[in-house]
Amino acid sequence: MEDFEYLQALLGGEELPEVTTAFRDIWVLTDGAPEGLKVVDRARNLAETLGARVQVVLIRGEETADLIAAGADRVHLAAGYPESGADLAGDTEAALNALAPFLEEAAPEFILCADDWLGQELAPRLAQRLGAGLATRCLELTINENDRTLVAVRPVYQGDYYEVVNFAPHWPQMATLITAPLSQPYLDPHREGETEVLKPGLSAASRVRVLGETVLPETPLSLSRAAIVVTGGAALGVAGFEKLADLARRLGGAMAGAREAFELGWVEKDQLVDVTGHKVAPRLYMAFGVAGDVMHTAAIKEAKFVVAVHPDPGAPILAQADLGIVGDPCEVIDQLIAAL
Amino acid sequence: MKIVVTIKQILDPAGFTVNRRRERVFVNREEYIINPADLNALEMAACAKDGRQGVEVIALGLGPARVDDALREAIARGADRAIHLSDPALADLKTDAAGAARLIAAAVQKIGGVRLVLCGAVALDSGAGELPGRLAEALGWPMLAQVHSIDQIGEGQVRVSRRTERVESDLPALLTVPHDANQPRHMLGVRVVQAYRQKSVAAWGLSDLGFTPNDLEPLTSVAGRRFPPERTPGTRLEGSIEEAVQSLVAQLRAKELI
């Protein structure tokens, strides 16, 4: 018997148990953003394992061709709902009121979406309404072959390590996916799929109203709290610091200076990264024209990922960095700003 | 008006190191802190109280005995009182966000007259951001996510600013607060002493909230840990500056660093 199982495993012929519940298919929620295609692609892979179909709810627009090409078997259009013409993609509560009763009736086995506003705002509330388990910000999804439950791998402590999440045998099961590391899906123009107009059961007035636009004044991020820190050193030159400030703004990070830059008066004391100034622990640390003596590297040893740019190939910081570029830091900053 | 701030106590990431090669987490100092975004939520509540009569800020925490310290810290940072949801039956039961949301919702209902619940948008440890949405639903309230400031609290409405828009919601409502919304105020030593000597933290158990452990069977559970590949010795990006920068941006995007 064991031999038989071994042989079956070798041949890849292990069959998943049949669905015994009323819950069917993998459903993907998307607002038409490119991330949605990546989720459909992932759903397609899982659907092959499960022998299920991929159904998509498109919340905004009517562009179904790419969704079908990426792997959708059926696309439900929610555009134009409710009749007032309100944009479901702009109003989580309206989207929830429209989709929850529809999905409850459709009884999906699994519901997936990207980790954008759908994943962050809609998914937890939808999960609670449907009584579904949820794993957010997943990197990897597989199916437990014994009972058709999801197994998710997701980062904790900002990616320090990952946790494996098991689902109880209770459906629907929901997950949101981090889409950035996923490759662009292959679009098969000859794939066929159906399109249907979604007819949700009820329309409830939203209790949330947008009053107007605002752009919050930018408060300088304190170095110790910033997730991204960009630092300039002597080799950047005083003119480079303006560009550096621009780069910091674009990245949503904080600008800092190494000791030489501080001594030259290019940055303030509260922007000094050094053992004598601030120690920093950002997720991303970028050093431009910083030579990187011990006083500096000791202050950044808790940084998760270090990028260094220096004209001198022998600069110590290049040996310490995860990624290094030998070259003029000003030029690199210009190119970076252009590429972002 | 009563404002509830949810407090999650998490293991201080400064106290452990992750060894990817040996695939282990070494806890050097087992110290706990309040989830950073919860401090921003607490600060927002404290600001709403400043210069206004009749606002009471209540810190609400779920978890084992050590959460008492986090709740007293919350009092020292501006909460008027604290409630600790704790039960021996919960010690063995690893409840998930769905169960936690129902428990906290029941506690908010039991407090009575709560107009606003403020939550940190995302917990630093799990990074999930799942609880606030579930809690809003468990309460049946509207949710405003990623709120940077409360502009106005009226009888029936609250007006807030998010990063790109101003939004109004009916009360009661739940707000989530990101970690860059404000700068939490410093704690005065004297308030810490008061928080321990003069204040008491109420303890509510499962039966006080009308639950039995069977009601809280988790839908998801953490089954183990996995480790990202070990950090490789640094690479130099070769080629022209243009190529090097393209490659740099691609790698940073792939790692979700930018």
Cβ contact (<8 Å) for A336 and B127?
no
For testing the chain B interface, which of A140, A211, A285 should be mutated: the one with the most B CBs within 10 Å?
A211
Nearest residue, CB atoms, B258 vs list A219, A284, A332: A284
Cβ contact (<8 Å) for A211 and B249?
no
Give whole-number Cα distances, A184 to A40, A73, A175, A181, in Å.
11, 19, 20, 9
Mean pLDDT of chain A: 86
Judged by a CB distance cut-off of 8 A, whether residue A34 touches chain B is no
Letter for the amino acid at A62? E
> In the predicted model, what is the mean pLDDT of residues B18-36?
89
Higher local confidence (pLDDT), A159 or A95: A95
For residues B187 and B66, the answer to whether their CB atoms sit within 8 Å is no
Q: What is the ipTM of this complex?
A: 0.89
Give DSSP secondary structure letters for A163-204.
EEEEE-S-S-EEEEE--TTSPPPPP-TT---EEEE---S---
Which pLDDT does position A1 carry in this prediction? 45
For residue B151, the tally of other CB atoms under 10 A from its CB is 15
Which pLDDT does position A81 carry in this prediction? 56
Checking if the pLDDT of B16 tops 90, the result is: no
| Beta strands at B149-153 and B157-161: parallel, antiparallel or unpaired | antiparallel
Which pLDDT does position A207 carry in this prediction? 86
Give the model's confidence band at A82: pLDDT under 50 very low, under 70 low, under 90 confident, else very high: low
In angstroms, the separation between the Cα of residue A336 and the nearest Cα of chain B is 6
H/E/C letters for each residue in B151-167?
EEECCCEEEEECCCEEE
Mean pLDDT of chain B: 90
Which pLDDT does position A216 carry in this prediction? 63
For testing the chain A interface, which of B130, B131, B139 should be mutated: the one with the most A CBs within 10 Å?
B130
In angstroms, the separation between the Cα of residue A124 and the nearest Cα of chain B is 5
Cβ contact (<8 Å) for A318 and B236?
yes
Among A74-88, A153-167, B179-193, which is the least confidently predicted range? A74-88
Element (H, E) at A112: strand A108-114
Residue carrying structure tokens 């003069």: B198
Higher local confidence (pLDDT), B133 or A238: B133
- The pTM assigned to this predicted structure is 0.81
Give the model's confidence band at A88: pLDDT under 50 very low, under 70 low, under 90 confident, else very high: confident
> In the predicted model, what is the mean pLDDT of residues A326-335?
93
For testing the chain B interface, which of A117, A125, A250 should be mutated: the one with the most B CBs within 10 Å?
A125
Give whole-number Cα distances, A141 to A12, A43, A167, in Å.
19, 9, 11
For residues A163 and A154, the answer to whether their CB atoms sit within 8 Å is yes
A residues 58-87 closer than 8 Å to B (CB): none
Checking if the pLDDT of A271 tops 60, the result is: yes
> In the predicted model, what is the mean pLDDT of residues B34-56?
92
d(CA B32, CA B17): 15
Name every chain B residue with its beta carbon within 8 A of the beta carbon of A221: 180
Cβ contact (<8 Å) for A161 and B128?
no
Nearest residue, CB atoms, A133 vs list B133, B219, B234: B219
pLDDT tens per residue across span A94-114: 888 888 988 999 999 999 999
Which pLDDT does position B214 carry in this prediction? 83
The answer to whether the peptide bond before residue B88 is cis (omega within 30 degrees of 0) is: no
Higher local confidence (pLDDT), B81 or A81: B81
Cβ contact (<8 Å) for B251 and A323?
yes
In angstroms, the separation between the Cα of residue B11 and the nearest Cα of chain A is 10
Checking if the pLDDT of A48 tops 50, the result is: yes
Judged by a CB distance cut-off of 8 A, whether residue A5 touches chain B is no
Give DSSP secondary structure letters for A62-100.
---HHHHHHT-SEEEE-TT-STT---GGG-HHHHHHHHH
Name every chain A residue with its beta carbon within 8 A of the beta carbon of B169: 207-209
In angstroms, the separation between the Cα of residue B241 and the nearest Cα of chain A is 7
pLDDT tens per residue across span B65-110: 999 999 999 999 999 999 999 888 776 667 899 999 999 999 999 9
Among A57-71, A204-218, A282-296, B192-206, which is the least confidently predicted range? A204-218
> In the predicted model, what is the mean pLDDT of residues A30-54?
93
d(CA A176, CA A154): 10
Instruction: Give the relative orientation of helices A92-106 and A123-130 as an angle to the nearest 10 degrees.
Output: 40
Give the model's confidence band at A278: pLDDT under 50 very low, under 70 low, under 90 confident, else very high: confident
Give, as one character, the DSSP assignment of residue A269: G
In angstroms, the separation between the Cα of residue A261 and the nearest Cα of chain B is 24
Which pLDDT does position A84 carry in this prediction? 46
Nearest Cα residue in chain B from A305: B257
Checking if the pLDDT of A263 tops 90, the result is: no
Judged by a CB distance cut-off of 8 A, whether residue A208 touches chain B is yes
Higher local confidence (pLDDT), A171 or B229: A171
Which pLDDT does position A252 carry in this prediction? 86
Checking if the pLDDT of B142 tops 50, the result is: yes
For testing the chain B interface, which of A97, A121, A173 should be mutated: the one with the most B CBs within 10 Å?
A121
Pair of tokens at residue B109: 């209902």
Which pLDDT does position B171 carry in this prediction? 94
